[in-house]
Amino acid sequence: MTLETLNLAIIGFAPGGFSPLYLTIIGVTFLTSMLISGMLKRRFTEYSQIPLRVTGAQVAEQMLRQNGITDVRVVSVPGQLTDHYDPIKKTVNLSEPVYHMNSVAAAAVAAHECGHALQHQQAYAWLAFRSKMVPAVQFSSKILNYIMIAGLFGIGLMNNPTMLWIWVGLFGVTTLFSIITLPVEFDASRRALVWLEGSGLAASMEHDKAKNALFWAAMTYVAAAVGSLAQLAYFLMIALNRRE
């Protein structure tokens, strides 16, 4: 639904080695993410069986038009759950199932992505802040990748306290980005649900199902943010201990 950042540490590299605490953080984060992802896919499959009279693409077009947005296109993109809003190209990109299906699940996802278009139109502060962070996140992820590769080849960069603090700082940027993503996603879902309820497309029971589907989608971002924050705390603890 939004730009995803590569959480480099989660694939197994950690400054100072593989402590039981770090492995526990990784294990719990991975397990939680898998459970939430599984629940999201089950809910999407279940709610895809509940029909509506319009497709996801039609929901998106109606929501944009009724909110006075005429310069954003609704397009189909390959894959499943690859839906996202592109503020640069001004496109609501819906995955092929969402674009073509006429179901509660498709309507919820399409309306959520249009929620981001509304945020962009209204200069929503958290979205603007998040967008400004993208270059810093891309730079941080790139440098973290170089440091990780150097560590895997046995270059002891992380034994250097300065390099360790650089790692903490760069990882802090990606963690902040994941935290800022939360209000952006929750607000887009809120806007989607308000519009769906006011549009009359879904009855009250279907509205609850749309709300549940968006809740589990939001939980994927919550799990990512909490996992990233836990890892940052671990790296910060190592850096502080080595300073003493």
Cβ(207)–Cβ(181) below 8 Å: no
pTM confidence score: 0.83
Instruction: Please pick, among 61, 96, 113, 244, the residue that the annotation labels catalytic.
Output: 113
pLDDT tier at 11 (50, 70, 90 boundaries)?
Answer: very low
Cβ(119)–Cβ(127) below 8 Å: yes
3-state DSSP call for residue 88? coil
- How far is residue 188 from each of residues 84, 97, 115, 144, 232, measured CA to CA in Å? 11, 20, 4, 30, 27
**Could you state, in order of their start, the residue ranges of all structural domains in the chain?**
8-243
Task: State pLDDT tens for residues 50-91.
Answer: 988 899 999 999 999 999 999 999 999 999 889 999 999 999
Mean pLDDT of the chain: 86
244 among known catalytic residues: no
pLDDT tier at 106 (50, 70, 90 boundaries)?
Answer: very high
Distance of alpha carbon 226 from its chain centroid, rounded?
A: 12
Across 65-69, 152-156, 217-221, least confident range:
152-156
Q: Is the pLDDT of residue 1 over 80?
A: no
